[in-house]
Every structure is written in C-alpha cells, then in structure tokens.
Structure 1
Amino acid sequence: MTAEILQKVASEGLPPTRMNARRLFGSFSFSHQPPYSRLPNELLSEIFLYATCRGVDDRHEIISTPIAVSQVSTRWRNVAISTGALWGTIIITFPISRGQISRALTWLKRSRSYPLSIFLDFRDPSWDWDLPESAHPFRWQDMEALIRLLIVHAHRWKQFELLTDTWAPIFTILHYSRRIKCAPILESISLSRCNAFFAARNATFAPAEMKVPIALFGGLLLDCLREVSLTGVHVDWTTSPLRNLTTLEFKYLATDVTPTKDQFADILEACPNLHSLTIIGRGPQADSPPSSSGSTATNRPDSRSKKSARHVELMSLTSFTFGFNDMDYALEILSMFSFPSIKTLALENLSNVDPPALQSLDATPLLKRLSFLDVSSDATTTPFPLSHIISLKLYSISASQATFSQFFDKLRNLEYLGLYNASKDVLEALKPSSNVDFNSSILPCATLKDLECRDMDPETLLKMVKLREAVSHLGHVSFEFSNLCPTLRTNFLDAGIDVVVQTTAQ
C-alpha cells in the first residue's frame, strides 16, 4: 500500500520546494529587521512604560520619552499612542508657550482614563522681589485659564504640584479647587509660594486682601490623599482634608496665617500613620510673640509660655525635619511632640532669612533640649530618643564643641551624618578622645558609616577623618566643594575621601 502511494506521488510530481517553503515560512532572503521588531505589542508597551519610570526624578525625561519612542517607526508610534499610561504626566512651565498648551491637550487626550501627575512651575528666574506682586508676568488670569483646562480631569489627578513666586496663582487654585466634586485617586498635593522671606520672625502675610483662608478642595474628603506639602501656603486649617497623611510639610509660613496649637494638634492626631513631618520656619502659632534677639532661652528660667499646649505623641513618625530662626519658638514647639520611633532627623538654622542678616543663631539650647540637658529650671523635656536615630543632617548649625559632644554621646546608633555649612566645632567633636587606646567605645558616633560634608572647613575635616581612621574605619566620606586647592584635594583623595565639585549654587 505504501509503495502504491509513493508511486502515485512520484507520477504526479512534487511542487517546487522553494515555493512551498516560502509559502509556509516566508522568504529565505536575509531579514534586516532587528529582533525587537518581533516583540508583541503588549511587551513593547511595558518596555516603554519602564523606560519612562526610570526617569522619574527628571520630569522632562518623562515627557521626552513618549515623544522619542513614538518617532522610531509607525508601529512604535501606534503602540505608544495606544498606551494611555505613557502620557499621564502633564508639565507646564514658565514662560507658557502655545506649544506647551498644545502638548498638554494632546497628553490629556492620549492618556484617556489613566491617572495624571501634574507639575506646574511658574517661577520667573528674573523676577525682582522688590516689585509688587501685580507686576509678575504670570497672573491670576493665566492660572485661571489653566485650571479650567485641568479641573475637568480632577477625577484622574494622582499627583498635583504647583510652584509660583506670588500668591495670586495659589489663591486661584484654592478658589477653583472648591468646585471639584471628586478626586478619588489623588495621593499627593504640593503647593509652593517660593518666597523664604515669610519665614522671618516678624513677617506677616501679603497681599492682605487675599489673606482669607480657603479650605483645600473645599473640605472634600480625599480618601487616598497621603502626602501634603505647603510652602508659604495657608489654608483653612479646620476644614481642609489634612487627615490620614503619611507625609506633611509646613514651610515658610507667615506668622499670622499659621494654625493654632489646637488646630495643629488636631491635624497631627488625625494622621496616626504619619511617617514624615517637616516644619521649616513656622508650624503652629506660638503662645508668645517671637523674640527680637533670636535666642533668650538660656537667660530665663522658663522661656515658654505658662499656657500648656496639647501634647501629641506621633507613634509612627520616623523622619523629622526642623528649620528654625527663633530659639524660644523652637523650644516651645518641640515641647508639643513625642517621637518614640524617630530614625531620621534634620536641623536647619534659618536666621539668614531675616533682613538685615543676623549672626548665626546659636543652637546650643536646642541641642541641649534634644539631649535632655536643657540648663533651664524646667524639668519637662521632649521625649526624643536620640539613640534611635540612624540618619542626621545639620544645616548651618552652630554650637560649642562641648555641646556637640554631649549631643553625639546620645547618638549611639548613628550611621549617616550630613554636615552643611555647620561650625567646625562639630568636626572637632567627632574626633576621638585624646586618650585613644584603639577602643571603639571612646569614639564619638562609633557606628557612623557615611559622612557627607559641604561648605565645611577642609583642613579640620581632613584631620578628623585621619584620626578616626586610626581607631576604626569610618566608611564612605564625601566632601563637596567649590574651591579647593590642589594640595588639599590630593590629601583628601589619599585619605579616601570622595571629592565632589559643586556645579550648581547651593
């Protein structure tokens, strides 16, 4: 039977082999198409999204990536346009151009129903701060036109960030946010009026006609909101949806628009899972007017008001950043809190925001309070377990070597230390004791692994590092500088210190 079949096939003849193979498998000719051209559309889309996410720290890269991939080929363009999540970042900056508006409209359309991250930066690099706000080239009418464009997509907002030089655009946003009926996926809000002057101790809000507080989003309950940053921006502290937050920032608020202590305590108590708190300049109102000298805390038995404030225990807080320019206020506010889970601390001296420029504010009372060594007769201290802290940053902090030494004695588990324009006494305090016997127990901050310095005395830093290395390996040390002689630079490299050249103004 088999022989008969073979004979029949042989008599009928076979189709041309090459023609049959080409029909089944395509041409035998060499393909010039790269392997990635055969990737499924779904996988190609995920690659595009991954490439965009890699540039998350560079918003302009997030914008340029979709444009780049959509110009490679017709297929890539079709895949990119059909990937709605690829177009979910809206960026508009000053000066606003017709091209930016056109791009924003295109992105809003292509992103379809996907979440939106909105970044608006209307700061003018050439703005003269001595001019009235009404002279600023970005006006409230410009902000109104933009917010009308974006507000219809508020149900898709996931992140919203606005930076301005003046108050009118912020006021416009707050006014129009009251019209929003729902923002079910909004996770992060950042509003910044970038004028540090309002952190000055006697500065009051301006323009006065726009001082009236407005509830953020009209008091709308935002179930997913977790991060709020207000820089020079005040709201209605009672009705705004500041609850269930994990990150909260108060920066550069004028003295007459800050929340009361009770309002501030209410906000914090409504955020039981708060992990990060930042207070730069002003948080809640003080019980007494700010001092004119900047530091009188150590000259009076009790520098705080006799009126007792509510004490707030932040059980989940692990990170605290505190910037101050009035020592009485700083000590008063710190007395409100307990940070039993603190791990990261940053302290910043803001005395340079007060015109005329003041001498560096002595941080001794603050460091003593934090290390439970306040010299005042008040026995009440802020529950602040320094032994839990693993990361510390000090910005323009001045104190005596003895004060720093007492402070460092409490930091028994410190792993990272950042020093920025701090007094060189802090470097002296990090040196091993004079009776070094190669026992790490006498080494200040013996667990320190990473040290980062900027605008510090280079010779004192070099000497300190060498002395510590003689006792115990310090780990990674970096020094950022703008002008360092070649000899010192060589010595730094020989000591194992990474040298970083400042490329931007600090």
Structure 2
Amino acid sequence: MDVADTDGSSGDTHSVASSSSSSITSRESHSNDQNPSNESRGSALLATQPTSSSISAPNAVASSSSGFSSQVITGGQRLRVAPSSIPGRHLTANALTVPPGANPYQHYRAVATHYERQITRDWAPKPLSPEEILFYRNATLRRLDRIHTLEAEQMRHPRPITKIEQALFMARLDYRIRFYRIFRINDLPTEILTNIFHLVAWSAPDPRAAVSARLWLTSTCRHWRTVAIEDSTLWNAIWFRKPPNFNQAYTWFERAGNSAIDIRINDTAEQPLTLESTSQLIGRLFEKLSNIRVLIIVVQDWDPALFIIHALRRVAQENLPMVMERFELHRAGSAYVQIGTGYEPSFYSQTVPLFGGVTVPSFRYLSLNGVHVDWKNSPLVNLNAFDIRRMPLERVPTLERFRTILKNSPNLTKMIMDGAGPQWPKSLSDVTGLLPIALPMLKVLVIGDFSVNYGTYLVAQFSAPNVLDFTLMNLLGEDCSPFFNRLTSNLPSIRTLTIHTAEITNEQSAIAIFKWLRTVPHLTYLRVINVRQSFLNLLLFDSQLMRPAVSSTKSLLCNKLAYLEIHSVDVSLVAVWAKKRRSLGSPLRKIYIGAETFSSLTQEQLAPLREAMRTPQGTSAVQILAHMQKPSEEEELLK
C-alpha cells in the first residue's frame, strides 16, 4: 500500500498552469499495484487519447521535480494533491510532446503503455481485506475528483488549455490503470463475463491481436479459462497459419463446436501449402462445412487453389445446408500462368462451378484472385461484394453473364475489377443498345490494370451514382481521354479517391481528366501512389476558367480537398503544390506519408513539406501512416 493513496497532503503546491518543473508524475504511485496482464488492457487505454489541442502542444503539464504535487483553482477552492513518495515513477516533461513527423495517436498510446507498465509491474494480485478495499475505493474516488476538477477548470476557458489537457490525460490514464483493483469481476454472472470476453476478443484491430487476446483470457486464472473454453463462440474465428503446424488452430476449431465459424488460411512463399497438406487441412475443416460462415484463403500455388474449389462441390453432392456468407480465394503466385503437379492442364480447362453449381441462400461476398470458376453454372445472386482479380480474358465471365450477376445483385456495395472483368465482345453489335445497369447501393469501386479501351468498355456496363470511395490503378495507354470522358458525371458522389500510377502524356488526356475532376466536387481525401506532378498540377486549376488559378478563388478545382496521402511521390513537389493550394484559398488540413515512403526520406528532404504544412499553432500537419492503417478522417467520410 502506497503513501500516495492516503489523504495526506503536502504544503508544497504548484498551479496546473505552472511551467517551472521538468517532470510529470502521477499523484499516486504504488510499488505493489501491479496487474500481471498489463498488455491485455492496452485497448482500454486508447480512450485516454487527448484532443487535438494537446497533441499539438509543445509543453507538458508542470509539477514539482519530486512528484506531481499540484493544485487547481476552481471557484475559490483548491484541490491539493500529495506528492509521490516513490522517486523515478514519472514521465519527463517532454514525454507528451509529439516528435516531428510522428503519429500523435501512436505516440500517446506508447506513453500510456509505458506508464501503465511502470505502475503495474510491482502489483501482485491477492484477495484484499475489507480495510484494503475501503482504502482503494477512497483512492479511486479521489482520482475521479481530480478528473472532474480538471474538467471543470478546462470548461472555464473559451478554448482548450494545453497544460490542463495534458494534466487531464495523465489523470485519466492514472485512473484507468488503477480503478479495476477492487472490481469483483469474478463475481459477475457468467453470461456478463462472457460478453466482456467477446468485447476483448472482437475489438482487436487485426487477426494477430485477436489471437493474443484469447490466449490472455485463458491464461489469467482458472475461472476465466473455464468460462472462455466453454463459450464456443469465442473460438469461432480461426486463423490457420505457419503450415504445416496447425495444432493451435485445430484446438480452437474443436472448441468452436457447432457455432458458425470464420476461417482464414494463409501460407507463405517460404512455406507454401502443398496438394497433400491442403487435402488434409480441407478434409478436416470440411467436416464442419455446414458451419463455416466465412472462408478466406491465401495460397501460393495452383494445386491447393484448384483443390479447394473442387472440394466445395460437396455442397451440391451431399446437398449440405450452408450458412456461408463470404468466400475469398487468393492465389498469390504469378498471374495467368498455371504451374503445378497435382492437376493436369486438362482439368484446368474444365472449370468447376462454385459450390458445385447450387445456390447458397446466405452467400453475399465473393472474391477470386488469380483463380477462376465456371461462371455460367455458378449461381451468383444477391451479392454485396463482387471482387475478381488477375484473370485471363478467356477465363472471366462473358458479357452476358457479367451483366446478369450485376442485375441479380441490386444491393451490391463493393466491386473490385483488377485485371479482370467481362469478356471482350466479339463484335460491336454485341454491345450496341445495352444500357448501363443501375447499382444504386455501390459505395466502393476499384478498377485497374487494363487498357484504356477495355476500361472504357467496362465502366459503360454500369452506373453507380452513389460511389463514395473510388480507386483507379495502372490505366495503360498513352491517351486516356476516352476512359475519363466516359467516366465524367458517372461518379458524382466521390469523397475518397485513390490514384495508382498516373501520368498525363498529352493535352487530350489532361482536358479529359480535368473535366472529370470537375464532376467530383465532394472529393475530400486523395491518395496518390507513384503519381507524377502533371496530375497534381490539375488541382491548381480554376474549374471555371480551365487554366491555372493565379489568386485565391472559390472555384479552385476540387476545393473541398482537405487530406492528401502520398506513397512513392516526390515530397519536394508535394511541398510546393501544398503551399500553392494554400495561397489559392484551399489549404490542406493534413498530409499523410506512407511509412515505406517516409523511411526512405531524410529530415532535410522532409523539411520543406513540414514547413508547407505549418499550422498557426506552430506544429506541422504532416503525419506518418503505418502499413495498412486507414486514417480516421477517411473512415468518417465513408460512413
């Protein structure tokens, strides 16, 4: 029990707004307040993330060098905080200052994790006496009082005060780490504890974290292990990785019982699944084929991919009842080329219909990458997502079949056509008089890796006026004007645009792209990958005069553009471009740099970009984006 949990106070006090000290220390530090599973509560600490005003602040909340002994003046009263009696358990004044170019969220998360480990490392869980329970309850109430007092003090000011914001961050963090010490979680009814476990497992940000979370739940204590193992739905998301050792995944597969199961299978180039190992794995998993709700498979070679499609014929052969909603099969090897030993080319030429050709009423999501099915005999209806990639044109659906799939999927919300789409028509008469198929629910559209002529043909097959997120990749050909002319006015609702590899090579293309961009006035988030300056320069044009803007104007092309994300782009050019947008009256709010791009840059190379994005508060609105991370601003735009 630590002296800082007592009601004693120090006569040595400082104002929260003081800046005379060099450290931040919790008002209560416990040498023996340690929870053994500090990692498992990392998600709880994310709620302590401060507001933007505190993220951009250069200073930290001050305290005495011996501890966080401070007072807040509110309504003439002072809240006195006892100094810590344990030296060294504090954060330096610079700890809350976000380093240049760092992700503020990741920085504060790291601060929270570090501080939690400091406080909890000496805590030994044990049954508490009534006196100890009362003691810790009073200490918790005092922490809440401090939070409420700081909140009240902040409300007195017309705008957030950085030092109070940071004091709140530390006070809330201190409270969140310690408040559960006296919570009798094991006395909760099993069904409530089970719901808590679900929140822990399913709120994980990625599959690896979800695996770790469930391991923590079963290794904390005997009671938790019993409750967790007896709940089959806690184990129904299973990741088969690191072949051929699937012992852990098989154990979870058995624990899932008869609940609906979500399965993900991954091999690697170093350890690819063979035909034999795939046969053993699928044979065991398909014992519960009727229970599989989601099946996502990533393999390297043709043999396992073809075997999986072949094995799904059991649905038709045995007339199995199915709950499958989503099926993804990705072959990560070379596109279009079949290399394998288990199946002869004759088998490859005889494609197999999905699910043996029967309808699965629950099925909504299809993704095939580098592998194909018998499209004619695969009943695909009521899809929410239709995703086909990297297929030779002789193996994609015919135009008639492609249009039928779209017609039979009025609620389609996501469509990806990456190096795949409908077969090229044999003659112009095959497409004459065909009207675009209306896809009013489509929100996400990804197309790319084809010629200009094919792209023009593809987008002519449908209309999608409500697409919010549009991605265009690797449009091949010198003159892309026919494609963009066809696209003009067809996607008026775009909020997020991703352009991968774009270069304007002639005037006709520039005019066509300009006219198309003029029809997407709501564009707010732009992601560019390997894009040349000629494309970015179009966004410095006056949309009415069709020429580069020379002064601040409300008619700047895409004047709502607020966020730019860059990958493999010359940052010096982006810096000049961003400064010009600002001078024309449409400044960006933030620029994101992909982690891989950032790692290749020196501080000298980044300096012009940071200067171009300097805010009135003196900080730079440039942020590093982790691999596969989606910014919160983009997520908000797609809601």
Same fold (TM over 0.5): yes
Give the corresponding residue for 2:192: 43
d(CA) in 2 for partners of 1:96 and 1:315? 45
Q: Which amino acid aligns with 1:479?
A: I
Contact preservation (8 Å) 2:236, 2:260: yes
Q: Does 1:485 align with 2:602?
A: yes
Counterpart of 1:46, as a letter, is N
Alpha carbons of structure 1 residues 90 and 479: separation in structure 2 relative to 1, 3 Å: closer
| Alpha-carbon offset, residue 454 of structure 1 | 1.1
Aligned residue number for residue 228 of structure 1: 366
Q: Measure how far apart 1:335 and its partner are.
A: 2.1
- Asked if 1:421 corresponds to 2:530, the answer is yes
Higher alpha-carbon deviation: 176-185 or 431-440: 431-440
Q: Which residue of 2 aligns with 1:160?
A: 295
Report the equivalent of 1:141: 276
Tell me if the contact between 2:425 and 2:431 (Cα under 8 Å) persists in the aligned partners.
Answer: no
Q: Which residue, 456, 462, 474 being the options, matches 2:569? A: 456
Partner of 1:492, secondary structure, is helix
Structure 1 Cα separation of the partners of residues 329 and 479 of structure 2: 31
- Structure 1 match to 2:516: 407
User: CA–CA distance in 2 between the matches of 1:147 and 1:122?
Assistant: 14
Q: Are 2:310 and 1:210 equivalent residues in the alignment?
A: no
- In structure 2, relative to structure 1, the CA distance for the partners of 1:27 and 1:404 (3 Å cut) is closer
**Which amino acid in the other structure matches residue 308 of structure 1?**
V
Does residue 1:474 correspond to 2:588, yes or no? Answer: yes
The answer as to whether partners of 1:321 and 1:345 remain within 8 angstroms in 2 is: yes
Matched, 1:67 2:215: yes
Residue 255 of structure 1 pairs with residue 388 of structure 2: no
Is 1:385 the counterpart of 2:508 in the alignment?
Answer: no
- SS in structure 2 at match of 1:279: strand
AA aligned opposite 2:576: K
Displacement, 1:208?
A: 5.2
2: CA distance between counterparts of 1:28 and 1:479? 54
Shift of 1:350: 6.5
Residue aligning to 1:326: 451
Q: Hey, what's the Cα distance between the residues in 1 that align with 2:211 and 2:375? A: 35
3-state SS in 2 of match to 1:388: coil
Equivalent AA in structure 2 for residue 49 of structure 1: H
Aligned-partner SS, 2:531? coil
Alpha-carbon contact 1:94-1:124 (below 8 Å) kept = no
Inter-CA distance 227–388: structure 2 relative to 1 (3 Å threshold): same
* Preserved CA contact (<8 Å) 2:335 2:370: no
Return the match for 2:612 from 470, 476, 495. 495
1:501 shift after superposition: 7.2
Relative to structure 1, is the Cα distance of residues 348 and 499 closer, same or farther in structure 2, using a 3 angstrom cutoff? Answer: same
The 1-side partners of 2:527 and 2:129 are apart by 64
Does structure 1 conserve the Cα–Cα contact (< 8 Å) formed by 2:465 and 2:492? no
Q: Which aligned pairs between 1:44-443 and structure 2 lie closer than 5 A?
A: 44-55=193-204, 57-97=205-245, 100=246, 102-125=247-270, 138-180=273-315, 181-195=319-333, 197-198=335-336, 207=345, 209-287=347-425, 305-308=428-431, 310-311=434-435, 312-349=437-474, 363-371=480-488, 384-400=489-505, 401-433=510-542, 434-441=548-555, 443=556
Cα contact 2:465–2:491 (8 A) shared by 1: no
Q: Distance in 2 between matches of 1:108 and 1:209?
A: 32
CA 1:220/1:62 → structure 2, altered by over 3 Å: closer, same or farther? farther
The one-letter code sitting in structure 2 at the alignment partner of 1:421 is N
In structure 1, distance between residues paired with 2:378 and 2:255: 32
Deviations 1:57-116 (A, max 9, x none): 42122222222211111111111111111111222124311xx2x323321221122211
Instruction: Write out per-residue CA displacement over residues 442-497 of structure 1, whole angstroms, 9 at most, x where no aligned residue.
Output: x1101112211111122221111111112123222223324223223122222224
Deviation at 1:256, TM superposition (A): 2.0
Deviation at 1:254, TM superposition (A): 1.7
CA distance in 2, matches of 1:423, 1:110: 53
Native 8 Å contact 2:448 2:474 kept in 1: yes
Q: CA RMSD in A?
A: 2.8
Structure 1 residues 197 and 206, CA gap change in structure 2 (3 angstroms): farther
Contact conserved, 1:427 with 1:464, CA < 8 A, in 2?
A: yes
Distance 1:213 1:325 in 2: 24
Please state whether the residue corresponding to 1:317 is helix, strand or coil: coil
8 Å Cα contact 1:199-1:253 kept in structure 2:
no
Give the distance between the partners of 2:576 and 2:497, measured in 1 at CA: 21
- Aligned equivalents of 1:342, 1:386: Cα separation in 2: 6
User: Do the aligned residues in 1 keep the contact of 2:572 with 2:609 (CA within 8 Å)?
Assistant: no
Deviation at 1:27, TM superposition (A): 7.9
> May I ask how many residue pairs the two structures share in their alignment?
425
| Native 8 Å contact 2:399 2:422 kept in 1 | yes
1:30 deviates by 5.4
Does the CA-based 8 Å contact 2:574-2:609 persist in structure 1? no
Give yes or no for contact 1:276–1:318 (8 Å, CA) kept in 2: yes
Deviations 1:203-240 (Å, cap 9, x if unpaired)? xx994542311111112321221111011121111222
Report SS of the residue matched to 1:331.
helix
Residue-by-residue CA offset, 1:160-206 (whole Å, 9 max, x unaligned): 01111111112211122111233532111101112353299xxxx99
Equivalent residues of 1:199, 1:282 under 8 A apart: no
Q: Which moved more, 1:474-483 or 1:232-241?
A: 474-483
Distance 2:593 2:129 in 1: 62
Q: Against the structure 1 CA distance between its residues 30 and 439, is the aligned structure 2 distance closer, same or farther, given a 3 Å change threshold?
A: closer
- The whole-number CA distance in structure 2 between the counterparts of 1:196 and 1:409 is 38
Does the 8 A contact of 1:347 with 1:397 survive in 2?
Answer: no
**Distance in structure 2 (CA, Å) of the matches to 1:439 and 1:139:** 61
What amino acid maps onto 1:399 in structure 2? Answer: I
* Structure 2 unaligned regions, length at least 5: 1-127, 137-180, 543-547, 614-620, 629-639
Residues 442 and 467 of structure 2 are in contact (CA less than 8 Å); yes or no, is this contact kept in structure 1? yes
Return the alpha-carbon distance in structure 1 between the equivalents of residues 344 and 604 of structure 2.
51
User: Deviations along 1:287-337, whole A, 9 cap, x unmatched?
Assistant: 25xxxxxxxxxxxxxxx8343264322232222111133222222222222
Could you tell me whether the CA contact under 8 Å between 1:492 and 1:499 is conserved in 2?
no
Judged with a 3 Å threshold, the aligned counterparts in structure 2 of structure 1 residues 432 and 488 are, in CA distance, closer, same or farther, namely farther
Query: What is the TM-score of this pair, normalised by structure 2?
Result: 0.62
CA distance in structure 1 between the aligned counterparts of 2:193 and 2:527, rounded to whole angstroms: 42
Q: Distance in 1 between matches of 2:534 and 2:490?
A: 23
What do the CA deviations read for 1:39-73 (whole angstroms, capped 9, x no partner)? 33222211111111111x42122222222211111
Aligned to 1:295: none
TM-score by length of 1: 0.77
* CA distance in 1: counterparts of 2:301 and 2:538, whole angstroms: 43
Change (3 A) 1:115 1:473: same
Q: Percent same amino acid among aligned pairs?
A: 25
3-state SS in 2 of match to 1:396: strand
**Secondary structure in 2 aligned to 1:50?**
helix
- 4+ residue segments displaced more than 4 Å: 26-34, 205-208, 400-403, 432-435, 501-504
